[in-house]
C-alpha cells in the first residue's frame, strides 16, 4: 500500500511540474525540505529558514570591483575547457575522514598497554 501512495505522489508532482515542500527531522532538528521526482524516486533538498539566510552584502561588500578583461576570460575559458570532463564520484575519496581515521589508528598504536581496552 505504501508503494502505491508514494508512486501516486511522485507522479502527480512530476505531471504537474511542481516541487513538494515538507518537514523532516535530522540530527534532532527540524528542516524544511523540497522534494522533486527523479526516475523512480524523490530527491530531497534541504532548504533554509529565513533566520538562517543572511544578506549578500554581509559577505560581498568588502570584495573589490575588478575589471575582467576579454583576454582573462578567454584564458579562463581555455583552462576550464581543458579540465572539463565527466564527473566520476568513484575517483574521489573522503580525504579528511581517511586522514582522521589514520591519525586515530596511530594514536591507538602508541597508547600505553593499560589504556587499551
Q: Which residues pair with 33 in a beta bridge?
A: 22, 46
Q: Which three cell numbers stand for residue 70?
A: 576579454
Average pLDDT, the chain: 88
User: Residue 113 falls within a domain, yes or no?
Assistant: no
Residue 82 lies in a domain: no
User: Residues 67-75: what's their mean pLDDT?
Assistant: 96
**Domain contains 14:** yes
Nearest to 38 by CA among 14, 2, 12: 14
Is 96 among the domain residues? no
- The β-bridge partners of 46 are 33
User: Is residue 77 domain-resident?
Assistant: no
Q: Are 43 and 36 in contact (CB under 8 A)?
A: yes
Please count the structural domains in the chain: 1
Is 16 inside a domain boundary? Answer: yes
Select from 23, 40, 43 the least CA-distant residue to 32.
23
Tell me the per-residue pLDDT of 82-117, one tens digit each, with 9 for 90 and over: 999 998 888 877 777 777 777 777 777 666 665 555
Is residue 18 one of the residues assigned to a domain? yes
The H-assigned helical ranges of 1-117 are 2-16, 56-60, 70-83, 95-110
Which residues span the domain enclosing 47?
1-54
What distance in Å separates the CA atoms of residue 63 and residue 29, rounded to the nearest whole number? 34
Residue 57, pLDDT score: 87
10 located within any domain? yes
Task: Return d(Cα 42, Cα 19) in angstroms, integer.
Answer: 10
Write down the pLDDT at residue 90. 85
Which pLDDT does position 89 carry in this prediction? 84
Amino acid at each position: 500500500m505504501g508503494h502505491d501512495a508514494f508512486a501516486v505522489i511522485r507522479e502527480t508532482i512530476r505531471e504537474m511540474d511542481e516541487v513538494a515542500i515538507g518537514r523532516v527531522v535530522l540530527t534532532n532538528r527540524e528542516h524544511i525540505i523540497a522534494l522533486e521526482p527523479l526516475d523512480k524516486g524523490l530527491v530531497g533538498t534541504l532548504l533554509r529558514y529565513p533566520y538562517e539566510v543572511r544578506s549578500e552584502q554581509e559577505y560581498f561588500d568588502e570584495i573589490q570591483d575588478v575589471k575582467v578583461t576579454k583576454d582573462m576570460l578567454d584564458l579562463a575559458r581555455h583552462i576550464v575547457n581543458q579540465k572539463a570532463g565527466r564527473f566520476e564520484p568513484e575517483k574521489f575519496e573522503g580525504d579528511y575522514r581517511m586522514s582522521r581515521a589514520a591519525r586515530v589508528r596511530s594514536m591507538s598504536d602508541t597508547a600505553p598497554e593499560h589504556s587499551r581496552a
